[in-house]
A and B are shown apart, each in its own frame.
Chain A
Amino acid sequence: MNKLILGRYIPGDSILHRMDPRAKLLASFYYIGIIFLARTWQAYALLLVFTLVLIGISKIKLDFFIKGVKPLLWLILFTVLLQIFFTRGGHVYWQWGFLSLTQYGLINGAYIFMRFVLIIFMSTLLTLTTPPLSLADAIESILKPLKVVHFPVYEVALMLSIALRFVPTLMDETTKIMDAQRARGVDFGEGNLFQQMKAIVPILIPLFVSSFNRADDLATAMEARGYQGGEGRSKYRILKWRTKDTVAFILMGLLTIALIFLR
């Protein structure tokens, strides 16, 4: 579980760390969107350079990003291979039944690979430089317009921040329960599929039970502190949009124009 880098936060002090989380979130989504504009190798080269410069600015080692790709490597390879063998067109290098190795196939495969890597790098960059709670604040702020259509923005934001807050706690709890069951002679990850599934029960049930208890305690504690719902509450963490956030969007705009030129 410790290998997963995506979704973790590394405290730091760079321009990216200090940016407004709303700006970061929107810019990352926008960036992932415009990746699909790229159709030439020049465009991909530009995107790669842009991403690597951002990673450089974040002062986080490139190793982590590469490690972040690793758990998804099989998925990427699978998709790339499908593209390579099933795309037709251009010069045919090799053919066997319905499988063929063609020029377009290879090019498509390379593009798909680049897309995966760029998307994973960018989303990893977002979570590595933004604390989860800031992300929750950002989502709340971005979803605010939906109040018009009676979307429960406040409740969703509250659930999100509580969920994020309890991820590490539940992880700790899981490890603890797993250790306790291991000490009682349970082998995890051994035996056939059925035995492995059976070994999960002694973790799952205690985990659910403790989640119910925790939810109950938390609700009581919140009520005792005067919580009555989202209406009429003030905010402690106030998000501020600064010049650098606007600059980020100007950069994104320039990048879009460059990509359209390189099509």
Chain B
Amino acid sequence: MDITFQNVSYTYQPGTPFQGVGLQDINVTIPSGSYTALIGHTGSGKSTLLQHLNALLKPTSGVVKIGTREITPETNNKHLKAIRQKVGMVFQFPESQLFESTVQKDIAFGPQNFGVPIDEALARAKEMIELVGLPANVIDKSPFDLSGGQMRRVAIAGVLAMQPEVLVLDEPTAGLDPVGRREMMGLFEKLHIEQGMTIVMVTHQMDDVANYADNVIVLEHGRLAKTGSPREIFADPDWLTEKQLGLPTTTQFAQALSRRGFIFDQVPLTEHELAALLAEQLPKKAGRAHE
């Protein structure tokens, strides 16, 4: 299910003194099955763009195509449920959306809203608890008795239980410890590879972009600044610095090495890539040092 933006603009509270521009003339496609990272400095319109992906916001001009549905400024607010089920959205700090008396009921809440019978919804909840790596005994606990990291997993499980085709994540690992981060990112990677789920993720972690994404969208002041593969985006460090964005640690390290005489014909993105490229060059270097 491709999601395409055609000349999309969005203005907050038009016609009031509180008016503000969210998006300006965005043209971009998020291909089906891709792992898209959305980056840009704070206030660049990332979250505004995210909310267009499941019609929580409608463009003030232009068209958003979600699969076969077209969302225009005139689109009626009713009958959007079908879209919301296909595009699951995990907001920033999603633990603040929990409300049910037990974890299981909370996870089943989403599917029930889309007409899944209660038994099946509860069964799905059980599966999801395992999928997101929660211990089985949390099932009957109140979500408010869990730790912050566990609450976040419950919230994510609640979205996954809707069995979306596209998973939209707004900084899913913000505020998690390193282990929690790695596990969460591993889960999304697994969903992407095993189930072919389309993933759209807003993040400030360039390492995550380099390690997982295959498509990057850069926003700046509500405008589209660049799109391309991570390799294309990270190939120009000066441009990124100018846009107040950083490089992945691996790429930074590779840059420092290249100042000391190492040659990389393409930017290494992951540790493995860097290691492989270094392994090729090190023997030669060592040989030269002996002479």
Residues of A within 8 A of B (CB): 2, 10, 64, 173, 176-177, 179-187, 190, 201-202, 204-206, 209-210
1/0 contact trace for B29-54 toward A, CB 8 Å?
A: 00000000000000000000001001
Which residues does chain A contribute within 8 Å of B54, judged by CB atoms? Answer: 183
Number of B interface residues, CB 8 Å?
Answer: 27
Q: A179-B51, A205-B99 are in contact. Are A185 and B17 (CB under 8 A)?
A: no
- Per the bound structure, the CA–CA distance linking A202 and B18 in Å amounts to 29
Which residues does chain A contribute within 8 Å of B99, judged by CB atoms? Answer: 201-202, 204-206, 209
Is the Cβ of A187 less than 8 Å from the Cβ of B94? no
Is the Cβ of B96 less than 8 Å from the Cβ of A202? no
Which residues does chain B contribute within 8 Å of A180, judged by CB atoms? Answer: 89, 91, 94, 96-97
- A-B pair count, CB < 8 Å, reads 60
Is the Cβ of B78 less than 8 Å from the Cβ of A190? yes
Asked whether any CB of chain A lies closer than 8 Å to the CB of B132, the reply is no
Is the Cβ of B81 less than 8 Å from the Cβ of A183? no
Is the Cβ of B91 less than 8 Å from the Cβ of A183? yes
Is the Cβ of B98 less than 8 Å from the Cβ of A206? yes
- Per the bound structure, the CA–CA distance linking A186 and B109 in Å amounts to 9
Is the Cβ of A179 less than 8 Å from the Cβ of B56? yes
Is the Cβ of A185 less than 8 Å from the Cβ of B94? no
Is the Cβ of A184 less than 8 Å from the Cβ of B159? yes
A228 → chain B, closest Cβ, in Å?
30
- Per the bound structure, the CA–CA distance linking A209 and B81 in Å amounts to 27
Contacting residue for A183 out of B18, B78, B88, CB 8 A: B88
A sample of 19 cross-chain residue pairs with beta-carbon separation below 8 angstroms, ordered by A number, consists of A10-B17, A173-B96, A179-B91, A180-B91, A180-B94, A180-B96, A181-B97, A182-B56, A182-B84, A183-B54, A183-B56, A184-B97, A184-B110, A184-B158, A185-B81, A185-B85, A205-B99, A206-B98, A209-B144
Q: A176-B96, A179-B56, A183-B88 are in contact. List 12 more A-B contacts (CB 8 A).
A: A10-B17, A176-B91, A177-B96, A179-B91, A183-B91, A184-B159, A185-B81, A185-B84, A204-B99, A205-B99, A206-B97, A209-B96
Which residues does chain B contribute within 8 Å of A186, judged by CB atoms? Answer: 113
Is the Cβ of A184 less than 8 Å from the Cβ of B91? no
Asked whether any CB of chain A lies closer than 8 Å to the CB of B162, the reply is yes
Is the Cβ of B56 less than 8 Å from the Cβ of A184? no
Is the Cβ of A202 less than 8 Å from the Cβ of B109? yes
A145 → chain B, closest Cβ, in Å?
37
A27 → chain B, closest Cβ, in Å?
24
Asked whether any CB of chain A lies closer than 8 Å to the CB of B241, the reply is no
Asked whether any CB of chain A lies closer than 8 Å to the CB of B68, the reply is no
Contacting residue for B162 out of A179, A181, A184, CB 8 A: A184
- Per the bound structure, the CA–CA distance linking A146 and B84 in Å amounts to 55
Which residues does chain A contribute within 8 Å of B110, judged by CB atoms? Answer: 184-185
Is the Cβ of B109 less than 8 Å from the Cβ of A184? yes
Which residues does chain B contribute within 8 Å of A187, judged by CB atoms? Answer: 81
Which of chain A's residues has its CB closest to B111's CB? A185
Is the Cβ of A206 less than 8 Å from the Cβ of B162? no
Interface residues of B in 242-269 (CB under 8 A from A): none
Which of chain A's residues has its CB closest to B164's CB? A183
Which residues does chain B contribute within 8 Å of A204, judged by CB atoms? Answer: 99
- Per the bound structure, the CA–CA distance linking A183 and B51 in Å amounts to 9
- Per the bound structure, the CA–CA distance linking A206 and B96 in Å amounts to 6
A202 → chain B, closest Cβ, in Å?
5
A187 → chain B, closest Cβ, in Å?
7
Which residues does chain A contribute within 8 Å of B81, judged by CB atoms? Answer: 185, 187
Asked whether any CB of chain A lies closer than 8 Å to the CB of B137, the reply is no
B68 → chain A, closest Cβ, in Å?
20
Which of chain B's residues has its CB closest to A64's CB? B17
Which of chain A's residues has its CB closest to B114's CB? A185
Asked whether any CB of chain A lies closer than 8 Å to the CB of B13, the reply is yes
List 10 tightest A-B contacts by C-beta distance, closest first: A185-B113, A205-B99, A180-B97, A183-B89, A184-B110, A180-B91, A202-B99, A185-B114, A206-B99, A179-B56
Interface residues of B in 74-128 (CB under 8 A from A): 78, 81, 84-85, 88-89, 91, 94, 96-99, 109-110, 113-114
Which residues does chain B contribute within 8 Å of A179, judged by CB atoms? Answer: 51, 56, 91
Which residues does chain B contribute within 8 Å of A10, judged by CB atoms? Answer: 17
Which residues does chain B contribute within 8 Å of A190, judged by CB atoms? Answer: 78
Which of A181, A183, A184, A206 gathers the greatest number of chain B CB atoms within 10 Å? A183
Which residues does chain B contribute within 8 Å of A183, judged by CB atoms? Answer: 54, 56, 84, 88-89, 91, 159
Which residues does chain A contribute within 8 Å of B195, judged by CB atoms? Answer: none
- Per the bound structure, the CA–CA distance linking A10 and B18 in Å amounts to 9
Is the Cβ of B16 less than 8 Å from the Cβ of A2? yes
